[in-house]
Chains A and B, each alone.
Chain A
Amino acid sequence: MQMGRLLNYRVAGWGTLLMVLGILPRFGISSNLTRLLFTALVWIIASVAWNLLGGFSGQVSFGFAVFYGLGAYAAAMGINGGLHPLAALTISGLVAALASVFIGLPTFRLRGPYFAIATIGVSEAVRVVMTNLSFTGGASGYRIAEHGRFRPLEHYYAALGFSAVAVVISVWIHESKFGLSLQAVREDEEAAADIGVNPLKAKLMVHLLAATLTGIAGGVYARYAAYIHPQGVFGFHTSVAILLMPIIGGAGTVAGPVIGGFVYGLVQEELVAAFPQFHLLLYGALLIVIILFEPRGVTGWLVKLRGFIERIWRKSATASVS
């Protein structure tokens, strides 16, 4: 019964959001807003993905740009090679998944901050290599040869579709036994092993899922931008963005990364246009406040707000009765 009620609210809530986003472009919103929403949706894919590893499983990676970048290049090269976009994006996911195994196997032996630092090292090393690799364009970047008219809605719906997939995966994991085992790994890896969870296998599995989704996000972005370069898609600031969004939104929750992605994608550009360097200051300060006072981020605050409203509601209800 409880599960049924849960699923009903969930489906209703997410479904409504999906519908709203789906029909918005048809209602003639400005092309600028479509572009911003597209950006937000791509970020949401990566944000939800990171949250699977960082929020659910507690493995904080500072190097997700490596998957984003690999996915971007894979898709770009695939499309230039004549592949259908969906096929190219599949390759993005596969390449990123493969990379996640190579990266995860050695680094998952490390705990906490050491894992985080190792991921920085890996991501930056890949960036340097890509900057010097001539067959992918090196520092000059890589360009997709565009044919035919540019259809922004095509990209928009691709982003929307994949972010929906990401959220569905996120909800599914959250509610499943697998999600419980990830939680166990997050809280205490040794105890989890004691009760029969294989921490390494769990981490590798979720890492693979997260990497695949992030790679697809990179591919969707690459298709849109038609020009990518190592400093951008493999850059440290991309890794930072991918981790800031879910943490600020609320790591470990399902909605947190989505909220974070919307805020980052939509508000970001207006902030950047007005104060080019200001947005990171804001996020840094938010991060500090969140770590110190509300680890569940914006979601946690919303929950507190809801509790506050509820208490006032109850008080006024009992007052009116007596």
Chain B
Amino acid sequence: MDAADFVNLLVSAVLLAGIYAAMSVGMTIIYGVMKIVNLAHAGFLMLGAYYVLELHERLNIDPLVGSVLAFPVFLLAGMLVHWTLVKRIPVSDQPTLASLLLMFGLWLVLQNIGYLIWGSSDRSILTSRTLSSMHLGPITIPTVRVMVFIPAVCSLGLLEFVLRKTWYGRAVRALMQNRYAGRLAGIPVEKMARLTFGVGIGFAGAAGGLLAQLYSFSPDFGHGFLLRSFVIIVLGGLESFWGAAAGALVLALVETFSILVVPAGYQPAIAFSLLVLALVLLPGGIAGIFAKKHRWA
């Protein structure tokens, strides 16, 4: 494999990492603040994809614009979900099985509502950008991947800015460290939880819209990405989004370069194996998993 091929792979991996990071950010926020493993994340990715598809087909709105528009819509949807469902389960400093199963049930419901509305055939978004690619010397980059990478990275940057520079961001980080202390410090925990859940879902919807421009999707969409999101969260840690970005980069690099040694058929197993290895072997960095004190509500 010559240098041009190697650089092509590297560029591919970096672009993919940006997309993976954007995709997992929604789950990371919700997990960090509320310790809820949001299995329904996959469902919202899927709905985001269809949302952008419908905007594109009915109103001729460009999918990139559609993805941005998806954020506020899904933010509100997320807040609604929190208000009706999530706030009724007991909260805890540790992830609970009740929340896991609740989100799983929600995912099943979302998936099948998707089937009812849109049927089960694959859909995709075709724009003038979809089939074109950019050439920088010997390196070929599909245009659409770059067009998706940029908003993905921007959204991460925006999030990082919000977290560091705004009151809301500081409150979120405080809650991620210690929920009860945050309450003592005067943070309105329930309202924050609702808003943050909404933000997480908002990111999921927008990410879904971005992913829809890269892949075909059906209501089943999101299953594979869900597991990849877990890997990223676990690899990168929960305290910061730089961690998630690092995790995304590791996953993307491993996936992209593994094709050189692993037959294509085994590729999905890479993410799964990484997940299991990360969960089981990763010491210290993911302190929360192996902590001594464990109660789940």
Contact = CB atoms under 8 A, between A and B. Distances in A.
Interface residues of B, number: 46
Interface stretch (B58-66, B97-105, B145-153, B161-169): B97-105
Contacts of A231: none
Contact of A281 (B94, B109, B292): B109
A132 B272 contact: no
A288 B95 contact: no
B89 to A, nearest CB: 7
B296 A291 contact: no
A288 to B, nearest CB: 4
A164 interface: no
B69 interface: no
A109 B268 CA distance: 25
Interface of B: 37, 85, 88-89, 94-102, 104-109, 111-113, 115-116, 120, 223, 227, 230, 263, 265-266, 268-269, 272-273, 275-276, 279-280, 289-290, 292-296
Nearest to B281: A106
Given A112-B94, A128-B269, A129-B266, A284 B276 contact: no
A136 interface: no
Interface residues of A, number: 41
A121 B96 contact: no
Contact of A125 (B95, B230, B272): B272
A129 B105 CA distance: 28
A110 B99 CA distance: 17
Given A277-B115, A278-B112, A280-B112, A247 B101 contact: yes
Nearest to B119: A277
Interface of A: 58, 60, 106-107, 109-114, 116-118, 120-122, 124-125, 128-129, 131-132, 188-190, 236, 240, 247, 277-278, 280-281, 283-288, 291-292, 295
Contacts of B106: 284, 288
Contact of B273 (A116, A121, A236, A283): A121
A128 B279 CA distance: 19
Best-surrounded residue of A112, A120, A240, A277 (most CB of chain B within 10 A): A112
A25 B100 CA distance: 41
Contacts of B293: 190
B259 to A, nearest CB: 14
Best-surrounded residue of A240, A286, A288 (most CB of chain B within 10 A): A288
Contacts of A240: 108
A129 B208 CA distance: 28
A112 B266 contact: no
Contacts of A107: 276, 279-280
Given A117-B275, A124-B227, A132-B263, A287 B289 contact: no
Given A113-B37, A113-B96, A277-B115, A128 B109 contact: no
Contacts of A281: 108-109, 112-113, 115-116
A285 B115 contact: no
Contacts of B263: 132
B269 A129 contact: yes
Contacts of A129: 266, 269
A189 B95 CA distance: 15
Given A124-B272, A236-B223, 7 more contacts: A60-B97, A107-B276, A107-B279, A109-B290, A110-B279, A277-B112, A284-B105
B265 A131 contact: yes
A244 to B, nearest CB: 9
Best-surrounded residue of A109, A110, A120, A189 (most CB of chain B within 10 A): A120
Contact of B105 (A116, A124, A277, A287): A287
Contacts of A106: 276, 280
A191 B104 CA distance: 29
Contact of A287 (B104, B111, B279): B104
B99 to A, nearest CB: 8
A94 B89 CA distance: 39
B108 A284 contact: yes
A111 B112 contact: no
Contact of A114 (B104, B108, B116, B289): B289
Nearest to B223: A236
A120 B105 contact: no
Given A112-B97, A122-B276, A129-B266, A288 B109 contact: yes
A129 B89 CA distance: 38
Nearest to A112: B296
A124 B294 contact: no
B294 to A, nearest CB: 5
Contacts of A287: 101-102, 104-105, 108
B265 A132 contact: yes
Closest 5 CB pairs of A and B: A284-B108, A287-B105, A281-B112, A284-B109, A128-B269
Contact of B227 (A121, A132, A188, A280): A121
Best-surrounded residue of A106, A189, A292, A295 (most CB of chain B within 10 A): A292
A238 to B, nearest CB: 14
Contacts of A188: 295
Given A124-B227, A128-B272, A189-B294, A118 B109 contact: no
